[in-house]
Structure 1
Amino acid sequence: MVELIKVSKRYPPDVTALSSVSLSVDRGEMFFIIGRSGAGKTTILKLISSMEPPTSGLVEISGQTIHRLKGGKLAKLRQKIGVAYQDFKLLTDRTAAENIAISMEVSYKKPQIIRNRVRSLLEQLDLADKHDTITGELSRGEQQRVTLARAVANSPTMVLVDEPTGNLDADTTERVVKLLQNSHKSGATVIIATHDESIYRNTSCRIMELRQGAIHSIVRGDQA
């Protein structure tokens, strides 16, 4: 599903975010990326989602070199990827429900299907009472959950998540993890960048540790 081949990313003037990273993530896999702040976790997600081009190397999704795609082909690929970044990128003048519905609306889902899906996701994340609340009025933790709901709403083939539990208590973290696991069980490839050891400690999924922009190790959770 995802192939990084000797990928490096540098930002001006002389910051090396990633250095010759090679990685394969299988279709339908749940994969964790860990490491300290600045290790390169977010950069990898941005490269996979085509938000950033690599400085060198290749990033392939389903055999397509994504930074070479243009126009309709790139838009079609992006519709299949659900993304939840730390900066949320919500429409803060729209309601929680409207924000979640957007990804389904651009795919021309029927209104009733959209309404049912939105309500289900809000209930799963303990946000049912925030359906009509403007997202700019929500707490940071609530905004984070809306972002996650939006990422999985359209049943994408791949979900990219950056620090999904950073602002959440233990009960809400459990809800978020269950939501991501359900997306994975439905067949999505799920890639999670996280500091939170509790969400991968007892899993058999692969865990890649980055250090200073390079791969330090890749192990399974039950072997860590």
Structure 2
Amino acid sequence: MKDHKASAESPMVEMIKVSKRYPPDINALSNISLSIGRGEMFFIIGRSGAGKTTLLKLISSMEPPTNGLIEVSGHQIHKIKGGKLARLRQKIGVAYQDFKLLTDRTAAENIAISMEVSYKKPQIIQNRVRSLLDQLDLSDKHDSITGELSRGEQQRITLARAVANSPTMVLVDEPTGNLDADTTDRVVKLLNNSHKAGATVVIATHDLTIYRNNSYRIMELKGGAIHSLSGGPRV
């Protein structure tokens, strides 16, 4: 594992006094101020309902904040639109708990999608898909219809799709929830490889086995607010 390099550049993610409320009166996040450096691996922990998934959705612009400022790669992500937003989103790989896979397509087709929108050459896409399936012990599922796979297999396909296009940032929500110890190790290695390649990796998890033995920063959410922030230096 590497520590990301110090940089005078703006952070990958900057959040200032961000809150998110859902009607009628649910405060999912309250007054979150946070900076995540470029190339950093960052863990968000907390119990179910603490606000981890909401935080990731705000960073990826799937949902807007109720209050506050969010910048991603120097852009106020909820104020840019059209082609500029599309290009920024192409640089963000996301793996949520509900997968959002095309269940009538094969595993290979699901992983290839993120590269196809960037007009990668077919041979490059094919090689990358096979490599990712091999890394996640899914080589035999290349041509399997995704909707017929187990939840654990679908989860791995989602992760492979998130990192396939070598994004500058990867957002991952509970990546090991349906996995055994051996498969968890494979997933952690995949995310570490993406981090070593220079990506900012943000992982929301309750699985302490994937963060307890490293020096990366760990932020704990409790009731939608930052309860603690600990770990190695950010820069």
TM-score (norm 1): 0.98
User: C-alpha separation between the residues in 2 aligned to 1:119 and 1:195?
Assistant: 30
Say yes or no: does 1:55 pair with 2:50: no
Aligned partner of residue 67 in structure 1, secondary structure: coil
Aligned partner of residue 99 in structure 1, secondary structure: helix
Aligned partner of residue 101 in structure 1, secondary structure: helix
User: C-alpha separation between the residues in 1 aligned to 2:54 and 2:68?
Assistant: 14
- What is the aligned partner in structure 2 of residue 19 from structure 1? 30
CA deviation string 1:136-163 (max 9, x = no partner): 0000000000000000000000000000
Letter paired with 2:152: G
Q: How do 1:82-101 residues align onto structure 2 when only pairs under 5 Å count?
A: 82-101=93-112
Letter paired with 2:98: D
2:208 to 197, 201, 214: 197
User: C-alpha separation between the residues in 1 aligned to 2:52 and 2:203?
Assistant: 9
Aligned partner of residue 78 in structure 2, secondary structure: helix
Say yes or no: does 1:137 pair with 2:144: no
Q: Which runs of 4+ in 1 moved over 3 A?
A: none
Letter paired with 2:53: T
Structure 1 unaligned regions, length at least 5: none
TM-score (norm 2): 0.94
- What is the aligned partner in structure 2 of residue 218 from structure 1? 229
Q: How do 1:1-224 residues align onto structure 2 when only pairs under 5 Å count?
A: 1-220=12-231
User: C-alpha separation between the residues in 1 aligned to 2:73 and 2:149?
Assistant: 37
Aligned residues: 222
Q: What's the Cα RMSD here?
A: 0.9
Letter paired with 1:218: L
User: C-alpha separation between the residues in 2 aligned to 1:63 and 1:98?
Assistant: 32
Structure 2 unaligned regions, length at least 5: 1-11
Aligned partner of residue 33 in structure 2, secondary structure: strand
CA deviation string 1:42-78 (max 9, x = no partner): 0000000000000000110111100001111110100
Name the % identity: 85
